[in-house]
Amino acid sequence: NAGVMQNPRHLVRRRGQEARLRCSPMKGHSHVYWYRQLPEEGLKFMVYLQKENIIDESGMPKERFSAEFPKEGPSILRIQQVVRGDSAAYFCASSPRAYNEQFFGPGTRLTVL
């Protein structure tokens, strides 16, 4: 059973471009979480999704950010019109159910020039 996969591992974008981050959860996991981590800081919750549903997006900025977890395929975190402040490591995690261990992916390190 492969672990949580994220791609790309590193992403460089210029200001104003779009960034698409992908997360494939572990097999059998229907809960996906996205976190943002700035250098030497903690993990900030962004959004919690189950298949085809956004359960909680209270940690996600209202503008430019969106997330989805379609019936087929990976979960996508999309950042439109990126700014330098979006530079961070974005981790996704999956779990088979609530109140359960979250398994983290290797992260995507986004750099905005």
Partner 1 sequence: GENVEQHPSTLSVQEGDSAVIKCTYSDSASNYFPWYKQELGKRPQLIIDIRSNVGEKKDQRIAVTLNKTAKHFSLHITETQPEDSAVYFCAASSETSYDKVIFGPGTSLSVIP
**Residues contributing to the site for partner 1 (CB under 8 A):** 31, 33, 35, 41-45, 48, 55-56, 58-59, 91, 93, 98-99, 101-107
In terms of CB distance, is 11 or 93 closer to partner 1?
93
In terms of CB distance, is 34 or 112 closer to partner 1?
34
In terms of CB distance, is 18 or 41 closer to partner 1?
41
3-state secondary structure the chain: CCCCEEECCEEEECCCCCEEEEEECCCCCCEEEEEEECCCCCEEEEEEEECCEEEECCCCCCCCEEEECCCCCCEEEEECCCCHHHCEEEEEEEECCCCCCCEECCCEEEEEC
CB of 12 to partner 1, least distance (A): 18
